[in-house]
A and B are shown apart, each in its own frame.
Chain A
Amino acid sequence: MNSSQLAAYFNEYTQAYESGQCTKEEYINLLQGLDVEQTIASTAEELQFKEQLNVAINAAISIASAVA
């Protein structure tokens, strides 16, 4: 999740709270959810990087095997 998406959700929740669509406790709960969301997004990025690295390593091995 990038910072603009995060800001959009933050604004949506803040507007809902200010207009009385949700309580203070619910608002805090939703913000805590955004915090968890950031952790999941950064872990997903780490895993994605590993996956790309894995593809690159296997491609390098294939090329090396073909040349040898």
Chain B
Amino acid sequence: MKKLIIVVAVLMLNGCALIDSYFMAGYDNQEYVLINKIRTKAQLSQRECFDREKTINNIFTLIDLTAEFKNFTQHIPRNPEAYKMATQMTELVDQSARAYNGSPSQFFCKAKLQQIERNAETIQTVLGSKPR
């Protein structure tokens, strides 16, 4: 059924969409490694939510990693979705950082890091499925 939907979609699409899909950016190991680092950092940082100083350091690391991920995806040809998702990830981490101007609760710390982890996993899943 899924294949049938795709075949029907192929027949209905215009030439530009077909060309766009055919020439889309392929799997990039470095791109995959970067999003995996973000996901893993967010995952492991949840254990340190009781310690404000450690959490701030973890957020700084996430800021660096998401900036690197965003910059890396930006100029890869035919890669607009990855860049858009990377930009959104930096927004998510920035939201987290803004809260640490004060003294956030442990609930917030864990919930925000879970958001970052979930989204990184969503991105990782689609980046890993890019054509090889």
Contact = CB atoms under 8 A, between A and B. Distances in A.
Interface in A16-62: 16, 21-23, 25-26, 29-30, 32-34, 36-37, 39-41, 43-44, 46-58, 60
B61 to A, nearest CB: 19
Given A23-B105, A29-B108, A36-B92, A47 B82 contact: yes
Categorize the interface residue count of chain B. 35 or more
A53 B17 CA distance: 9
Contacts of B20: 50
Contacts, number: 111
Interface of B: 2-3, 6-7, 9-10, 13, 17-18, 20-22, 24, 81-82, 84-85, 88-89, 91-92, 95-96, 98-99, 102, 104-105, 107-108, 111-112, 115, 118-119, 122-123, 125-126, 129-131
Interface of A: 1, 12-13, 16, 21-23, 25-26, 29-30, 32-34, 36-37, 39-41, 43-44, 46-58, 60
Given A26-B108, A33-B115, A51-B130, 11 more contacts: A21-B105, A29-B95, A29-B108, A30-B108, A30-B111, A36-B92, A44-B122, A47-B82, A47-B85, A50-B24, A54-B21
